[in-house]
Structure 1
Amino acid sequence: MQQPKADWSQLPKELLHQISERLDSPLYLLRFRSVCSWWRSSSTPLFPLHKASSYFLSKCTIFLIMPPPHHPIQTPILVQIGQDRRGRLLLSNPLSCSPSFPIYCSRVLDLYNLPVIDLGNVFVLHRSPPAHRPCHRYSIVMTKVAAAITVSCQGKQEVSILLMVHQSQNKLTYFRFSEGCWTITPEEFPPYDDVCVFNGRPCAVHFAGRTVAVGSGPDLDLVAKPVLGKNRKFLVESEGSLLLVHKRRIFTYQVFRLDEKERSWVEVKSLGDRVLFLGDLCTFSASASDLRVDRGNCVVFEDSNMKGGVGVFPLDVGQASPLSDHPDYSRLFDYNRLF
C-alpha cells in the first residue's frame, strides 16, 4: 500500500519557528523562508533589528552571488543585503557608506536558485529618530559595531554585547544587553579606529595598533601591543586569524597577523589567495578563487581621494590603482547583472 506523501507546508508553526532560530547562517534562513509563505510567516525575521537604548542595531550579510551557468560573464557579484524597518530587503555595495536602495517587487533577486557564498555579517547601529520627527527628515547616524552573539539553552541566537567607537570622543563604548545601558570605557589612549569580533569577543584597535577586547568585567583585556605609527588601522578576520591593516600613507597599506601567544602583531608579506576589503562600515576577506579574479594578495579599499572612490593595492606590487584599472575586480560591483 502506497504511503501518503507528507505535506511539508502544513508543519506546525511552532516547530518551524524553532527550526528557523537554529539556522546559523542568513543564507540558510533565506532559503528556508523561500519554501512557501507558511514557512516564511512562521520563521524568525531575516535580518532582525535589536533595540539598544535610543539606537537600533541592524544586521546585514555579505554575499558573493554566482552568475547562472549560461551568463556570458562568470565573475560573481559582491553584495550586502539587509532589511529596513518596513521589512523591505536592501541591497548595497559593502564598501560604500551611501544609503542602500530597496529591492522592490519589480526587481526580483532570486537567491534560491543561484549559488551563493556567505562571506560574513555586518552590524550597524542607527540612532532612533525622535517620535515627533518623521524618519525621512531625521539624519540617521550609522556606526560600525562589533556584536558578540551568544546561543541560549533553547538554541536561539542573541546579541549580548555591542562595542563601538564613540563618534564625538573617539573612545570605546559598549552596551551590555543584560545591563541595558551604554558604558564609556576609562581607557587612557584614545582615539580608536576600528572594531570587529574575533573568537567570539568584540575587539577594538587604537590608531597606534594597541588592540583590546571586552571582558567579563569593566576593564579591557589586552589583545596586542602597539605597532608602527599613529595612522589609520583596520581589523579584519580572515580564515580564523585576526589581521591588522595599517594605512601607512595615502593608498599604501601594510598587513599584520596577530600572534595570540605573544600578544603582538607580525607583518605579513603575502596574503596568498586572500583578498581584503576595507570600508568605513565593513571589513571582510574572501579568496581570489571564489571571487574568480585574476590575482589574490590584494587590499581593496574605499577612499574618496582615489579615482572612482575605490582602489586596489596588490601587496607584492606596493602601489595602488583605481578599481577601473582592474576589470575582474570591477565586475564584482556590477549590480546591473543582478536583475
Structure 2
Amino acid sequence: MAADWSQLPAELLEIISTKIIFITDYLRFRAVCTSWRSASPARPRHLPAQLPWLLLPYYPSPDNTDARRLFFDLRDRRIYQLDLPETRGKRVCGSSHGWLVLERHVAISLLNPVTRAHIQLPSLNTSSTFLYFFRPGEAHLFPPPDADQMLEKCSIKNVTLSSNPALNSDCIVLAVFQREGIFAFCRIRDESWTIISESYFFFNDKNIDVTYHNGRFYSVSAHGQVTVYDVNSPRRIVLPSRLQYSWDQKYLVDQSSQELLMVEWNFESRSANGGAKYDVFKLDVDGQPKWVKVEDIGNSMLFLGGTNRCFCLPAVNFDGWGGNFIYHTVPYFLQRYEDGDLVSHAVNSFSLKDDCTMQIACNLGVSLLHWSPPMWVTPSLF
C-alpha cells in the first residue's frame, strides 16, 4: 500500500519546511496538500535573499482583460506565468524590495506579485499643491487642462522604496516623473504626495536614477551630478560630479550600509571582447566627497535596469554564482512609431575581473520603450 504523505506529523513537516531555501520550492511544498500547508507558515522567517526574477515586457490587451504576466527565474532558467488581475490595464513603472509599482493615469499602487498583497498609494490629484512643470519657469496645477494629451509627460519614470512596506509601515516611496525629472514622495500612510521642488533640473535628465542609502535618497543626472535628499528636512546636498559632460547611462547602487556605487554604462567604449563597457565608482566620503573608480566589487553581484531599483546581492549566498559581476537589462531599437520606439530586450553579464561582456538572455519580448520594459523583481513572501 502506498504511503499517505498527507499524514506525516506536523512537527516533522515544520522541520522539513525550514530546510527549504528557495521561494519557488517553498511554494511548491505548501501546495502539496492541506496538512503540508497548515504545517508551514505563509510568511516564513528563515528564507534567505533570493536571486531575482525578471518581469518580461508586456503590452495591455485592447480590452484590458489579459492579466497574465511572465517572470523569468534567473536561478533555474524557467519562465513562470502568474495571473495578476491587479495589473490589468496598468503600466508597471518600477520595482523595489520585491514590490511592483503600478500606474494608471493618476492612480498609483504597490503589488507583491508572489503574495498578491496590494497597497493603494495616494492619487496624484489628491493635492492641489501637486505641480506639473513642462517648461522652465512655468508651473500648472495637476492635472493640466489638456490632461489627456499630457498623460505621457506626467507618467512615472522610476520609483524606489526606502524599505519593504510589509515590514515597515513608515516606508517612503520616491517617484521620478518622465519628462522634466520632477520628484515627489509619500509615506504609505499619507493622503497626498509631496513635491521635492529642488529636483527640477535645467538639463536633459532623462537618464536619471534614484536609490536609498543610509536613510537618504540619492539621485544621479545624465551628466553625473548626484544629489542627496532628506525627506525629513528641506536640506539638499549636491555632490561633486565625476564627469561634467558625460551622457552615458548611470545607475546608483546601495552596495551595503557603508558603500554607495555609481555604475556607468558606456555607449561608445568597448570591453575586452568588444561588448558594452561598464565602469564602477565608489563614493569616498573621507574629507571632500569624491567618486573613486574601482576595478573590483568583491563578492557582489549588481543588478541594473531602467525602471527597477538597482540592487546588490552577495554571490556567496548562491551556489554556482560568482562575485564581481554586473547584470543589466538592455533595450535594442527595432523600429520607430508615432507613439514611441519599439524595442527588444536582453540581459548583459559583465565581468569586472575579465573586462568581458556576455549576453546571457536575448529576445525577452518586444515593447514600447517606456511601457513596462523588463525589470528585476526580488521575490518575497513579505
Cα offset for 1:230? Answer: 3.0
Q: Does 1:92 align with 2:68?
A: no
Q: Does 1:63 align with 2:31?
A: no
Deviation per CA, 1:105-160: give whole Å up to 9, x if none.
xxxxxxxxxxxxxxx814543224689xxxxxxx9x66531223499xxx972144
Q: Does 1:79 align with 2:90?
A: no
Q: Which ranges of structure 1 fall in alignment gaps of 5 or more residues?
A: 1-6, 9-26, 47-60, 65-77, 82-87, 105-119, 132-138, 326-332, 334-339
1:304 to 323, 331, 334: 331
Cα offset for 1:179? Answer: 6.3
Counterpart of 1:270? 296
Deviation per CA, 1:148-201: give whole Å up to 9, x if none.
3499xxx97214432222112223333355462241523353526111111132
Counterpart of 1:319? 356
Q: Does 1:231 align with 2:248?
A: yes
Deviation per CA, 1:272-308: give whole Å up to 9, x if none.
2222111123322223333334643121111123997
SS at match of 1:162: strand
Structure 1 residues 194 and 156, CA gap change in structure 2 (3 angstroms): closer
Structure 1 residues 45 and 317, CA gap change in structure 2 (3 angstroms): closer
Q: Contact 2:251/2:263 (CA < 8 Å) preserved in 1? A: yes
SS at match of 1:296: coil
Counterpart of 2:193? 181
Q: Contact 1:274/1:287 (CA < 8 Å) preserved in 2? A: yes
Normalising by structure 1, report the TM-score: 0.54
1 CA distance for matches of 2:353 and 2:223? 24
**194-203 vs 293-302, greater mean Cα deviation:** 293-302
SS at match of 1:169: coil
Report the count of equivalent residues: 240
Cα offset for 1:44? Answer: 10
Q: Does 1:202 align with 2:220?
A: no
SS at match of 1:63: coil
Q: Does 1:280 align with 2:306?
A: yes
Q: Which amino acid aligns with 1:194?
A: D
1:260 to 285, 300, 303: 285
SS at match of 1:323: strand
Counterpart of 1:249? 267
Q: Contact 1:273/1:295 (CA < 8 Å) preserved in 2? A: yes
SS at match of 1:227: coil
2 CA distance for matches of 1:223 and 1:304? 30
Counterpart of 1:164? 175
Q: Which ranges of structure 2 fall in alignment gaps of 5 or more residues?
A: 1-9, 12-22, 56-66, 84-95, 108-151, 269-275, 334-343, 363-375, 377-382
Q: Contact 1:124/1:144 (CA < 8 Å) preserved in 2? A: no
1 CA distance for matches of 2:156 and 2:198? 24
Q: Does 1:148 align with 2:162?
A: yes
**157-166 vs 230-239, greater mean Cα deviation:** 157-166
Structure 1 residues 179 and 44, CA gap change in structure 2 (3 angstroms): farther
Structure 1 residues 204 and 125, CA gap change in structure 2 (3 angstroms): same
RMSD: 4.8
Residue identity (%): 21
Cα offset for 1:315? Answer: 1.6
Give the ranges of 4+ consecutive aligned residues of structure 1 lying more than 4 Å apart after TM superposition: 34-37, 43-46, 88-91, 176-179
Deviation per CA, 1:200-247: give whole Å up to 9, x if none.
322211222222232245645226321122321101112332111012
SS at match of 2:328: strand
Normalising by structure 2, report the TM-score: 0.49
Cα offset for 1:270? Answer: 0.8
Structure 1 residues 123 and 202, CA gap change in structure 2 (3 angstroms): farther
Q: Contact 1:145/1:195 (CA < 8 Å) preserved in 2? A: yes
2 CA distance for matches of 1:320 and 1:160? 36
Counterpart of 1:290? 317
Deviation per CA, 1:7-34: give whole Å up to 9, x if none.
99xxxxxxxxxxxxxxxxxx8xx99xx6
Q: Which amino acid aligns with 2:53?
A: V
Q: Contact 2:97/2:163 (CA < 8 Å) preserved in 1? A: no
Q: Contact 2:283/2:291 (CA < 8 Å) preserved in 1? A: yes
Q: Which amino acid aligns with 2:255?
A: S
2 CA distance for matches of 1:320 and 1:172? 33
Q: Contact 1:62/1:121 (CA < 8 Å) preserved in 2? A: no
